[in-house]
Amino acid sequence: MNTNAPLREALARDELLFAPEWTLLPTGPKTGWGVCVRGGRFADVGPLAEVMARAPTLAPLTLPLTMLMPGFVDAHHHLTQSFGKALAFGEPSEIFRRIWVPLEGSLDPHSLYLSVKLASLEALRGGYTTVCDAGVRSSHGLEAIAAATREAGIRCVPSFVCNDDGTAHDATLAAAERFLAQASPGWHPSLAISIPEAATDAMLGAASALAAEAGTVLQVHVNEHLASVERSLVARSLRPLQHLHASRALGPQALLAHCTMLTPAEMLLLRDHDAAVSINPVASPWKGNAVAPTELLAALGVRLGLGTDGTRSDGFRMMDAAESNQRLGYGMASGDAVCGGGRLWLTMATAGGAEAAGLGRVTGRVETGLSADFLLLDLDVPELTPSWDLGWELVRLASRDQVISVHVEGQMRLWQGWPVDWDARAMMAEVRTVAQQSVTRAPIHKVHQLP
Ligand SMILES: [Zn+2]
């Protein structure tokens, strides 16, 4: 790990010309590129000599055996569930009923804030610079998410939950509209409906239309596990994704979490309506019944990101899990030893996730004009020595321990895994006490007792 104090000092400057040995571009890792960061943006990205010529007053910051890469985008998170962790281990599907709803119900405004700050820190440490939150159940949750993500310095796509039973249609939509009007740098409001059955058909269509009009996304959990598919069939004679389609809620504004259990016709629905999917590769083995047919969806042209679903926030392990899932679920049976070849998973974890979250013109790529959301990665490690295919090696061999620094909107937020402007260990000490009290208060019901 690079412990260079002058580098840390240099990274605090507002204007920088990076000359890393490697830069991760949408086309893959490249050598010999220069990246100029100014005013929180990638002001210039190109061959180093050209970038230097356009910025003659800036001395290049030469970074041998270092990669500058886009920060990861978590396309599906639950920021207020970070106190739960192993409480959900071993539980069958529909954990929200027995663990998450009771836990979130026991959180007061301060413990909600701590929960989100902890989740934000975990995300930044795992290389994430953007998190999409799929909707909080507590009324104080949105304020907690706003305060804690701002202080931690992570870009956030929060969502206003539009679940309804038809009695407050207009009031819910009016509140949603007010929420969407609160966009600011680093804060990109969206809408959510937990699952299709949690809202009326009228609300599904209206919320989707409102999200489209506002240029944001409507986040919905769809076809996650057998329990949810069968419940939808019993209630509506439609599978969840068919239900969304029947309610006119599908479109480019739809960001659908999971989609692990899809019929061929449903895959075509996703493609034909240009809907985006957050593939959640750790959630599948931890609490699902199936693995999403990711490579097939990608081949069909479905827009894909990767999400943690609050399981664990490590961008490298997430990509590794995605590739392994694909291999175990599909590649081995069909003799497909390539399974995306590394590039698919890197793209989904960065540019794909940003695009799925409606932020394709904001973040996700090292490209002139986009927000300077990036990581510096130490490549001087035995695991990447020698290196033959750096893109695939990032998926299979790299680790968050290699992250030297994390930058959001050009500002350094972490240096060697820890915040540069707030005391993370003091926050964690408080979390240990507060989480104990919250969990003791919560009527959590674990159905699977550990042996
Ligand atoms: Zn979820």
Find the 108 Cα to ligand 1 centroid distance in Å. Answer: 21
What is the per-residue pLDDT for 223?
97
CA 73/CA 30 separation, integer angstroms: 21
Find the 195 Cα to ligand 1 centroid distance in Å. Answer: 10
Q: Which domains does the chain have, with CATH numbers?
A: 5-70+367-419 (2.30.40.10), 72-356 (3.20.20.140)
Find the 285 Cα to ligand 1 centroid distance in Å. Answer: 14
What is the per-residue pLDDT for 4?
80
Q: Which residues contact 180 (CB under 8 A, 6 or more apart)?
A: 160, 189, 190, 191, 210, 211, 214, 216
Find the 416 Cα to ligand 1 centroid distance in Å. Answer: 29
**Whether the Cβ atoms of residue 303 and residue 276 lie closer than 8 Å to each other:** yes
Find the 13 Cα to ligand 1 centroid distance in Å. Answer: 38
What is the per-residue pLDDT for 137?
73
What is the per-residue pLDDT for 362?
98
Find the 81 Cα to ligand 1 centroid distance in Å. Answer: 10
Find the 280 Cα to ligand 1 centroid distance in Å. Answer: 9
Find the 142 Cα to ligand 1 centroid distance in Å. Answer: 16
Find the 78 Cα to ligand 1 centroid distance in Å. Answer: 6
Q: Which residues contact 413 (CB under 8 A, 6 or more apart)?
A: 124, 152, 153, 154, 406, 407, 419, 420
Give the position of tokens 């409480």.
Answer: 87
Find the 447 Cα to ligand 1 centroid distance in Å. Answer: 20
Per-residue pLDDT of the chain (451 residues; tens, 9 = 90+): 455 888 999 998 989 999 999 999 999 999 999 999 999 999 999 999 999 999 999 999 999 999 999 999 999 999 999 999 988 898 888 888 898 888 888 899 999 999 999 999 999 999 999 999 999 877 789 999 999 999 999 999 999 999 999 999 999 999 999 999 999 999 999 999 999 999 999 999 999 999 999 999 999 999 999 999 999 999 999 999 999 999 999 999 999 999 999 999 999 999 999 999 999 999 999 988 899 999 999 999 999 999 999 999 999 999 999 999 999 999 999 999 999 999 999 999 999 999 999 999 999 999 999 999 999 999 999 999 999 999 999 999 999 999 999 999 999 999 999 999 999 999 999 999 999 999 898 888 888 777 6
Find the 339 Cα to ligand 1 centroid distance in Å. Answer: 25
Find the 41 Cα to ligand 1 centroid distance in Å. Answer: 31
Find the 276 Cα to ligand 1 centroid distance in Å. Answer: 15
Find the 77 Cα to ligand 1 centroid distance in Å. Answer: 6
Find the 221 Cα to ligand 1 centroid distance in Å. Answer: 6
Find the 218 Cα to ligand 1 centroid distance in Å. Answer: 13
What is the per-residue pLDDT for 165?
96
262-266 long-range CB contacts below 8 Å, 24 or more apart?
262/223, 262/292, 262/293, 262/297, 263/239, 266/223, 266/239, 266/241, 266/242
CA 74/CA 418 separation, integer angstroms: 19
Find the 26 Cα to ligand 1 centroid distance in Å. Answer: 28
Find the 309 Cα to ligand 1 centroid distance in Å. Answer: 5
Find the 59 Cα to ligand 1 centroid distance in Å. Answer: 45
Find the 66 Cα to ligand 1 centroid distance in Å. Answer: 34
Tell me the pTM: 0.97
HEC-encoded secondary structure of the chain: CCCCHHHHHHHCCCEEEEEEEEEEECCEEEECEEEEEECCEEEEEEEHHHHHHHCCCCCCEEEEEEEEEECEEEEEECHHHCCCHHHHCCCCCCHHHHHHHHHHHCCCHHHHHHHHHHHHHHHHHCCEEEEEECCCCCCCHHHHHHHHHHHHCCEEECEEECCCCCCCHHHHHHHHHHHHCCCECCECCEEEECCHHHCCHHHHHHHHHHHHHHCCCEEEEECCCHHHHHHHHHHHCCCHHHHHHHCCCCCCCEEEEECCCCCHHHHHHHHHCCCEEEECCCHHHHHCCCCCCHHHHHHHCCEEEECCCCCCCCHHHHHHHHHHHHHHHHHHHHCCCCCCCCHHHHHHHHHHHHHHCCCCCCCCCCCCCCECCEEEEECCCHHHCCCCCHHHHHHHCCCHHHEEEEEECCEEEEECCEECCCCHHHHHHHHHHHHHHHHHHCCCCCCCCCC
